[in-house]
Structure 1
């Protein structure tokens, strides 16, 4: 069982209202709707840090991921989860997190209400070896092209598409 399988995760309904708290492995087994924080880490050139997920991840193992982040634990806010996950996965703390939008995503393995944040950081990063195999900064167009050749987390691709379709969001990101 994945080491975090016993974490207690916040479960929500279709309207993103809190309804329960269950161990992570139950959330995955029953494909329950949960919350997650996504943190897009940009450098000053506007490139996004992309990470390769380890094969031990409980969802989308070995995929490329456009965001640091993860599930919101019971009793935790999106913002608290974002700060915790950014520190755990990339070793980054003390940066300003900008809220971009909330998004619902669903596929056969994952039903999630996500809050998408952005921040600016140039690295270097301290990668969490249990979750991140490696990573590097990439241009948005390069990431979208990567999705044609390699598996990229589908919820992450939805975030990128929304960014591309919303110039005001990209402008907000560029301002930091």
Structure 2
């Protein structure tokens, strides 16, 4: 995908185009999948700390997708042959500098956002001090209790995926 000068964007990665049953149809570029509203896979991880607080972050202003929006999940498109959990773990490392075991929780067909996609939601428990965000990706991060997160979801501008994830997420 071409990116405007001075912005941070996604390299035009290859993803698996899938059907409404999450079966692989073929390999396409992510920009092609988004442009044509073709289903593809995205893996995200909901991060919590030992006290049960949720990690929330604000996307950097220079990002091409949802700049400055808040997010509950950390994630991105699953590459060819990559599971939802593998994609989520990779993105966790890239965006927050954390290597952690992620546990798959659920998948759902998400029609919110830029284009429809299958969303594989995972979770992980992190030590707050282990989080070292990449400033090109994350402008701010904080740990919110569930009531604080519920209030923030009403008052702050979140990505469409965040609301969909929270509505379906129940902690273990």
Q: If the length of structure 2 is used for normalisation, what is the TM-score?
A: 0.87
Among 88, 113, 119, the residue aligned to 1:114 = 119
Structure 2 distance, partners of 1:21, 1:62, is 31
Residue ranges of structure 2 left out of the alignment (5+ in a row): none
Q: What secondary structure is seen at the aligned counterpart in 1 of 2:128? A: coil
80, 88, 92: which one aligns with 1:86: 92
SS in 1 for 2:161: helix
After superposing on structure 2, the runs of 4+ consecutive aligned residues of structure 1 that deviate more than 4 Å are: none
Match of 2:50 among 40, 44, 67: 44
Deviation readout 1:25-67 (Å, 9 max, x if unpaired): 2222222211111101101110010010123334322211001
Looking at secondary structure, tell me which structure has more helix per residue: 1
- Please give the root-mean-square deviation of Cα atoms over the aligned residues, in Å: 1.7
Cα shift at 1:96: 2.6
Q: Distance in 2 between matches of 1:35 and 1:111?
A: 9
Segments of 5+ residues of structure 1 without an aligned counterpart are 164-168
**Structure 1 residues 142, 28: CA separation in 2 closer, same or farther (over 3 Å shift)?**
same
CA distance in 1 between partners of 2:35 and 2:155 (Å): 29
What does 1:9-158 correspond to in 2, within 5 Å? 9-93=15-99, 95-107=100-112, 109-124=114-129, 125-158=131-164
In the superposition, relative to structure 1, how do residues 108 and 162 fare at CA in structure 2: closer, same or farther (>3 Å)?
closer
* Alpha-carbon shift at residue 89 of structure 1 (Å): 0.8
Contact persistence 1:52–1:132 (CA under 8 A): yes
- 1:122–1:115 Cα change, 3 Å: same
* Count of aligned pairs: 165
Give yes or no for contact 1:89–1:131 (8 Å, CA) kept in 2: yes
CA offset at residue 6 of structure 1?
1.5
Deviation at 1:79, TM superposition (A): 2.1
